[in-house]
Structure 1
């Protein structure tokens, strides 16, 4: 069976002191006077948004009513290791109004569903916390 593209995002990025990132859909239009830490912040924002969507999807599939929207604080670190650079991530997820054990199950399930989580699993150190 052929892949079915559900969404595609294209962003043009220019480096340098007058750098920017602009999506073709105009959802994103940011000045990027530095490539770092902008790259880490953009990755954290994208992963967080995807993770929250995955969490809401999983909650719906399990018939769990979320009384309020989940939130994520995601930190992406660039780490010097073995003469090179690697990423490390910490996601602090808040699922207000849900029992802690249910929230933990939702967060763990969302991590298995989220395409960003899947893309980096086994490639970077990930700390997944329930806030």
Structure 2
């Protein structure tokens, strides 16, 4: 597989899951805290799963907008995608994640919404990155 890169960015983390992460330009600068469910103190702060959920939901909504013309389905201004990211031990060892995307397209016929959702799943960079490696659930709400 080859990617013709048109944009790059970077972020640096210090302290791992209990530290800080910041993008090179400072537009994202987050305190990282290990959730109680993972043995940490919990409290104010982000974690890699929250950041992944934010990125995947935004990217998937962008992918739906990108394919909407081809699919003949207008994405309403109040459309939302909610990504729920799960974390836990894998039966094969190590840890893994799951992703469930809930797509809300107010006023769009369910069949059209599902067609748009599946078309977006084929082109979304996050979907392509996770394909065949992460269980991704897709639901029109």
TM over 0.5: yes
Tell me the residue number matched to 1:52.
61
Relative contact order: is structure 1 or structure 2 higher (C-alpha 8 Å, sep ≥ 6)? 1
| Deviation for aligned residue 1:3 | 4.5
| Secondary structure in 2 matching 1:7 | coil
Tell me the residue number matched to 2:109.
99
Report the TM-score, using the length of structure 1 for normalisation. 0.86
Tell me the residue number matched to 2:32.
32
Instruction: Provide Cα deviations, 1:12-47, integer angstroms capped at 9, x if missing partner.
Output: 111268721111133211111338771111111111
Aligned CA distance change for structure 1 residues 43 and 17 (closer, same or farther; 3 Å): closer
* Contact residue 51 and residue 111 of structure 1 kept, 8 A: yes
Instruction: Provide Cα deviations, 1:81-125, integer angstroms capped at 9, x if missing partner.
Output: 324322111111111121111010000000000011011111011
5+ unaligned residues in a row in structure 2: which ranges? Answer: 39-45
Tell me the residue number matched to 2:42.
none
Q: Distance in 1 between matches of 2:28 and 2:104?
A: 25
| Secondary structure in 2 matching 1:46 | helix
Matches for 1:1-131 after TM superposition, within 5 Å? 3-15=3-15, 19-34=19-34, 38-82=47-91, 83-131=93-141
Instruction: Provide Cα deviations, 1:48-73, integer angstroms capped at 9, x if missing partner.
Output: 11111001111133343233242111
* Contact residue 15 and residue 34 of structure 1 kept, 8 A: no
Q: How many residues align?
A: 130
Q: Over aligned residues, Cα RMSD in angstroms?
A: 2.2
